[in-house]
Amino acid sequence: MVLHLLPAPVVEALADRLERAGLAPGAGARRLEQLAAAGFALGALLVWALAASLGPLPAGASPVGWALVFGLAGAAALPVWWLGRAGEVHRKSLARQLPQVLDLLVVALEAGHGFDSALQQVTLVFRGPLVAELSRVLDRLLAGAALPVAMNELASRTGAPELEALATTVATSRQLGTPLANALRSQAAQIRQRRAQEAEEAARKVAVKILFPLAICIFPVLLTLLLGPVVVGMAAALKMLK
């Protein structure tokens, strides 16, 4: 595999990015190799297209050399860009399901379940990437790991701010001996409130974003429909005067 030819720190960094994107190492590595090949081909084709459209290159400039340089740049840039996008999508999917999961955890904890038993109830009711991550936390707890340690591993593995806050909440509750259900209920309410604020902010931005398509696509058509007959009439009148 091509990834094995890279330096060990680069491979470790890519493996960490794959895990944060919620991708299995094998399938993710194959996807990265496919994207690297596509990026190399796109970079090389871009050089050949530019050379064909702009004419011959300056003396001493080799099209093959430039194609190799741009191909390598594309092979490096496209997988990195895709990893960033995949990681962002995964983090949003984790955060999207978190309030419902917290609600069920609160109900289970208030019913007298321990945290590991409450997590087991979550895995039975829900499906999705967050539940898959919580299943790994449950496996660590059943293997004897401490709850704060398992939650910190979850936060580090995903890189999601909401799960980092959850890990901090769990650790603080265990350290101070406060009821965990109340803290989780408060966190779920904060997440929902923040989402409502983000939705309101996005709605306010729509009015600004729509100005550009209005100015480019709609206003010219309206001006043509309104002023077109006037311009045609004036042209006909001037022609008759001549």
| Domain parsing of the chain, residue ranges | 2-92, 96-205, 213-241
| pLDDT attached to residue 55 | 60
pLDDT band at 188 (very low <50, low <70, confident <90, very high): confident
Identify the CA nearest to 97 among candidates 85, 87, 105. Answer: 105
| pLDDT attached to residue 140 | 86
pLDDT band at 196 (very low <50, low <70, confident <90, very high): confident
From CA 172, how far away is CA 166, in angstroms rounded? 10
| pLDDT attached to residue 57 | 57
| pLDDT attached to residue 181 | 84
Is residue 7's pLDDT more than 70?
A: no
- For residues 198-226, average pLDDT: 74
From the options 1.20.81, 1.20.272, 1.10.3470, 1.10.530, give the CATH code of 96-205: 1.20.81
Amino acid at 75: A
- For residues 190-194, average pLDDT: 84
At which residue do the structure tokens 């007959």 appear? Answer: 229
Q: Range with the lowest mean pLDDT among 49-53, 92-96, 158-162?
A: 49-53
Most confident of 16-25, 112-121, 209-218, 221-230: 112-121
Residues 135, 123: contact at Cβ < 8 Å?
A: yes
pTM of the model: 0.66
Q: Which tens digits make up the pLDDT trace of 142-157?
A: 888 888 888 888 888 8
Q: Which tens digits make up the pLDDT trace of 109-154?
A: 888 888 888 888 888 888 888 888 888 888 888 888 888 888 888 8
- For residues 68-85, average pLDDT: 82
**Residue 169 φ then ψ, to 5°:** -60, -45
- For residues 191-218, average pLDDT: 77
Q: Which tens digits make up the pLDDT trace of 22-56?
A: 776 667 677 777 878 887 788 778 777 766 666 66
